[in-house]
Amino acid sequence: MSAAQSMVKQLGSGRPALLLHSSMSSHRQWLALTSTLSATHSCFLPDLSGYGAEPLPAKQPWSLAAEADLLLAALPDTLKTQPLDLIGHSYGGALALHLARTQKLQVRKLVLFEPVAFHLLPQLPDASALWQEVRALADALPMLNATEAAARFIDYWQHQGFFAGLPVRMQQQLALQVAKVTLDFQALSQEPASLADYADAVHSPVLLLSGSHSRQSAQRISAALRGVLPDVRLQRLECGHMGPVTHPDLVNKPIAEFLCN
């Protein structure tokens, strides 16, 4: 086992499951779900690059392919040769889509909570304004100091003033992650894939979860994916984009039912 592999937390026993977190988060966001799945699944919880215990990647420009390469290098070899359940939220959801599309892992079932596959927005005839909204956010972050950028990003996904209401220590921790968020936007915007590519390559059963109070940019992507994936069920929940963090009980229940059915 390499040093990178030893950093991937593993909990439970049974069918393998890989859980990928969002930007400005860590593997810890999935601990509540893991406590539910641990009786039936061997859960692997990596920190993606630039988050948790993982350093900011040196390679630039950044891409989901580069993120996937780092992730795969950190996973046990046995996990790459057997069917697994793949769960991803936001940036982690877009990464999960990349892994499923490129077939770098054998995906038995795929769970996506609002994968922010922003590269799809320019391809949608009714999403020009949403694409401009996302680009404006991505372009603004490098122009701000770390605290201001973290506030802009968090408030976009939560609501205006949310960041200001967080404890100062948490604000400081989030500000340290802004540089990776900028790279995440780069990867999400430049992924070379179309809706047709996902339709052709993703054949696993998919549970697609979306928050009814989330940004339209995220909801529109989920709706587009629902329209093309061959075996997909879209379920809307009474929460926002950060539902896996803010409403874990609400989000985790349908995930567990889908994976264990």
Confidence (pTM):
0.96
- Average pLDDT (73-83) is 93
Q: What confidence score (pLDDT) does residue 261 get? A: 84
Q: What confidence score (pLDDT) does residue 216 get? A: 97
- Average pLDDT (215-241) is 97
Q: What confidence score (pLDDT) does residue 2 get? A: 43
Q: What confidence score (pLDDT) does residue 58 get? A: 87
In order of their start, the domains of the chain are 3-124+192-260 (3.40.50.1820)
What is the tens place of the pLDDT at every residue in 89-148?
Answer: 999 999 999 999 999 999 999 999 999 999 999 999 999 999 999 999 999 999 999 999
- Average pLDDT (70-82) is 94
Average pLDDT of the chain, as a whole number: 95
- Average pLDDT (17-22) is 98
- Average pLDDT (142-162) is 97
Tell me whether strands 232-237 and 84-89 are parallel, antiparallel or unpaired.
unpaired
- Average pLDDT (14-21) is 98
Q: What DSSP string describes the chain?
A: --HHHHTSEEES-SEEEEEE--TT--GGGGHHHHHHHTTTEEEEEPPPTTSTTPPPP--SS--HHHHHHHHHHHS-GGGGSS-EEEEEETHHHHHHHHHHHHTSS-EEEEEEES---GGGGGGSTT-HHHHHHHHHHHHHGGGS-HHHHHHHHHHHHS-TTTGGGS-HHHHHHHHTTHHHHHHHHHHHHS----HHHHHHH--S-EEEEEETTS-HHHHHHHHHHHHH-SSEEEEEESS-TTHHHH-HHHHHHHHHHHHH-
On the question of pLDDT at 176 being above 90, the answer is yes
On the question of pLDDT at 3 being above 50, the answer is no
Residues 6+ apart with CB under 8 A from 126: 220
- Average pLDDT (214-220) is 97
